[in-house]
């Protein structure tokens, strides 16, 4: 039978024009790309299918390992340990409120006797260098002495530097930068972002959303110029297009950047059609695509060096100001800028200034921050680990496996099972969780895609030493050696007590198991039982006891199986209900699984709020304060603008 010739068509957006064009221009199947995909799939299965059973035998069943997920877990575990080791140091920042005529402005102390006040401390971390700032003023007494000096001084402008600076728009979105922006702006998870983007792509509103390219098609560049001219005027459009270069180490750039398929479709026109998350994401993409082809914003920047005269010590203060001369691309964002304008009055050299007040602020050096989904995606991309299609599933996997979780600020931290899983892999399979190795493998896949490397020898070179090491570790690594030992003895046989992991979490047991089957509850379990003591069954009146299942702790009737009543354990947040004054505010889940906080007297009291309360009340309106994104604390009352 004669074989039929099979061709491949390629399109990056689901529009009539793109599909018709693809049908007119079929191409041969690129077997190098097929081989690269096959190599990736096989290698990932070899790692996952062989390492996961190793974890089942040595720690507990239901665990998994993977070429990308295990490195992502390592980033989070290493960062947590770096935070624990970090020792915060006190320092003080000092400023002065100065006046020229009727105009007041702020200046910061920057030098003392010709030496800079600010120091940069560099820490060597697993993910690279981390820089934190501190000052040489290390105590309240030293700060007060400087303030006393400054209060007695006269102030003179010794130099003025004024220049025009440009602020350029960011590149159009890749998968990674879209996820980062959606997390930062809306608090979306990587998974939520990709689900909304997938819908927008399927409905023909945006181009393909799994890409590492920052390139835009000529057609879209022409469309952008037309839209910019029509909406904002000729002076906002570029004479010739602006092009960007990718910063990603492993970028393949097989697709365009993420952009609207039709820039004439304004976000606000689509608002009635799109779901809320889709609308937010489409507007984000539309704004970024249009902004990247607009003129740069022009700013006037002023720096003034001011000397404190008459003090025993030479002090130098610095004041800075920045004003927008031409908004350029900021226009598309409603002139919102990440760097707000600061005004300085007209100053010139030798001007004498008056002191209004001084201020000192106690600060502490900041520990390296935990990753959120945005910064984890960013670090994975920076090191060339994984592909645009794998970022969201990787994060979802390590959360679903309960290796990590998110706190109120949506930052990732390791859970109790995450530590031993990471440590076993680092100790016994360092290559698999090595940043460099994982990035090199990605380069090999690219070489296969480019026809420069054969996939079978590449897999063979990896698998033989990997499998040999796995067989050796399976024999030599004893489960007992991986258990956390407590400095207490078993009360029944005198053996060492250790921490083991079961189906429903960790528990304390004797190291001589199975000869000795002694077990006891952890301190956390005992505390949970104490907090829920005295609760009686609302069906039979018997005491309720804490039980554990696959979804966590719950209260079950002590007369089970005669009475099968169960109740949820209320997660109190340390706040009395501000509405009824009688109930406690507890964590609850909506029908869609989203956590919110409400009164435990519901349905008699319907108080509820989305963000986790801090336990304190707003000094302006008296309503509960709540944790918000980016580490902020805001009032839960939408009409109140108070925030910290």
Active centre residues (catalytic): 208
Which residues pair with residue 237 across a beta bridge?
A: 294
Task: Name every residue whose Cβ is closer than 8 Å to that of residue 498 and which is 6 or more positions away in sequence.
Answer: 480, 483, 484, 485, 486, 508, 509, 510, 511
What whole-number distance in Å separates Cα of residue 227 and Cα of residue 291? 11
Closest CA to 257 of 356, 375, 362, 388: 388
The neighbour count for residue 238, using CB atoms within 10 Å, is 15
Closest CA to 93 of 140, 132, 130: 140
What whole-number distance in Å separates Cα of residue 33 and Cα of residue 454? 11
Helix (H) or strand (E) holding 91: strand 90-100
101 phi-psi bin (left φ>0, alpha ψ -120 to 50, beta other): left
Residue 16 and residue 433 in contact, taking contact as beta carbons nearer than 8 Å: no
Helix (H) or strand (E) holding 547: strand 544-549
CA 556 to chain centre: 37
Which residues pair with residue 609 across a beta bridge?
A: 597
What whole-number distance in Å separates Cα of residue 383 and Cα of residue 385? 6
Task: Name every residue whose Cβ is closer than 8 Å to that of residue 376 and which is 6 or more positions away in sequence.
Answer: 72, 75, 76, 395, 412
Closest CA to 217 of 32, 450, 15, 443: 15
Q: How far is CA 408 from CA 370, 372, 500, in A?
A: 12, 11, 28
What whole-number distance in Å separates Cα of residue 96 and Cα of residue 80? 38
Q: How far is CA 31 from CA 1, 8, 9, 110, in A?
A: 23, 11, 14, 62
Residue 251 and residue 385 in contact, taking contact as beta carbons nearer than 8 Å: no
Six token digits for residue 86: 């970090």
Exposure of 522 in the CB half-sphere (CA atoms within 13 A): 15
Using DSSP, state whether 278 is helix, strand or coil: helix
What whole-number distance in Å separates Cα of residue 587 and Cα of residue 596? 6
Six token digits for residue 126: 């697993």
Closest CA to 409 of 178, 630, 201, 169: 630
């Amino acid at each position: 039978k004669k074989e039929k010739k099979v061709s491949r068509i390629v399109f990056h957006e689901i529009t009539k024009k793109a599909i018709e064009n693809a049908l007119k221009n079929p191409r041969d199947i690129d077997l190098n790309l097929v081989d690269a995909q096959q190599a990736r799939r096989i290698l990932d299965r070899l790692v996952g299918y062989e390492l996961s059973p190793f974890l089942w035998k040595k720690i507990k069943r239901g665990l998994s390992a993977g070429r990308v997920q295990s490195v992502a877990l390592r980033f989070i575990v290493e960062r947590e340990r770096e935070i624990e080791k970090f020792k915060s140091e006190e320092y003080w920042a000092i400023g002065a409120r100065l006046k020229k005529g009727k105009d007041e402005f702020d200046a910061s102390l920057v030098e003392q006797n010709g030496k800079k006040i600010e120091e940069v401390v560099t820490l060597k971390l697993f993910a690279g260098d981390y820089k934190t700032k501190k000052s040489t003023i290390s105590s309240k007494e030293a700060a007060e002495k400087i303030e006393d000096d400054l209060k007695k001084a006269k102030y003179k402008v010794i130099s003025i530097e004024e220049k025009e600076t440009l602020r350029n728009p960011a590149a159009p979105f890749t998968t990674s930068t879209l996820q980062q922006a959606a997390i930062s702006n809306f608090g979306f998870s990587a998974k939520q972002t990709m689900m909304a983007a997938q819908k927008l792509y399927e409905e023909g509103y945006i181009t393909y959303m799994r890409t590492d390219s920052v390139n835009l098609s000529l057609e879209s560049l022409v469309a952008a110029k037309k839209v910019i001219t029509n909406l904002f005027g000729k002076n906002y459009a570029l004479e010739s297009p602006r092009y960007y270069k990718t910063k990603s180490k492993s970028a393949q750039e097989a697709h365009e950047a993420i952009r609207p398929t039709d820039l004439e479709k304004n976000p606000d026109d689509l608002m009635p059609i799109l779901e809320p998350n889709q609308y937010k994401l489409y507007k984000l993409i539309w704004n970024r695509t249009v902004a990247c082809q607009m003129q740069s914003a022009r700013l006037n920047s002023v720096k003034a060096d001011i000397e404190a005269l008459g003090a025993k010590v030479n002090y130098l203060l610095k004041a800075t100001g920045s004003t927008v001369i031409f908004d350029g691309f900021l226009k598309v964002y409603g002139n919102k800028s990440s760097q707000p304008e600061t005004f300085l009055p007209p100053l010139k050299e030798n001007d004498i200034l008056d002191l209004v007040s001084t201020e000192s602020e106690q600060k502490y050096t900041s520990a390296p921050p935990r990753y959120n989904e945005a910064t984890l995606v960013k670090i994975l991309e920076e090191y060339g680990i994984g592909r645009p299609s794998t970022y969201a599933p990787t994060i979802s996997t390590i959360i679903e496996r309960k290796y990590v979780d998110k706190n109120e600020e949506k930052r990732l931290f390791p859970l109790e099972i995450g530590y031993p899983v990471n440590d076993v892999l680092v100790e016994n399979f360092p290559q698999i969780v090595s940043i460099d190795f994982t990035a090199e493998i990605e380069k090999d896949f690219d070489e296969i895609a480019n026809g420069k490397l054969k996939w079978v020898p590449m897999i063979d070179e990896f698998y033989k030493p990997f499998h040999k090491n796995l067989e050796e570790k399976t024999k030599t690594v004893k489960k007992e050696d991986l258990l956390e030992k407590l400095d207490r003895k078993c009360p029944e046989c005198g053996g060492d007590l250790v921490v083991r992991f079961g189906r429903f979490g960790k528990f304390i047991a004797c190291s001589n198991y199975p000869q000795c089957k002694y077990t006891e509850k952890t301190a956390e379990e005992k505390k949970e039982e104490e907090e829920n003591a005295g609760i009686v069954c609302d069906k039979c009146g018997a005491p309720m006891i804490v039980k554990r299942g696959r979804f966590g702790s719950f209260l079950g009737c002590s007369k089970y199986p005669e009475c099968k009543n169960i109740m949820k354990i209320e997660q109190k947040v340390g706040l009395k209900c501000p509405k009824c004054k009688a109930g406690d505010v507890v964590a609850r889940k909506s029908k869609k699984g989203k956590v919110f906080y409400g009164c435990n007297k519901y349905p008699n009291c319907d108080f509820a709020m989305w963000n986790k309360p801090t336990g304190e009340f707003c000094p302006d309106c008296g309503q509960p304060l709540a944790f918000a994104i980016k580490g902020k604390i805001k009032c839960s009352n939408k009409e109140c603008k108070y925030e910290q």
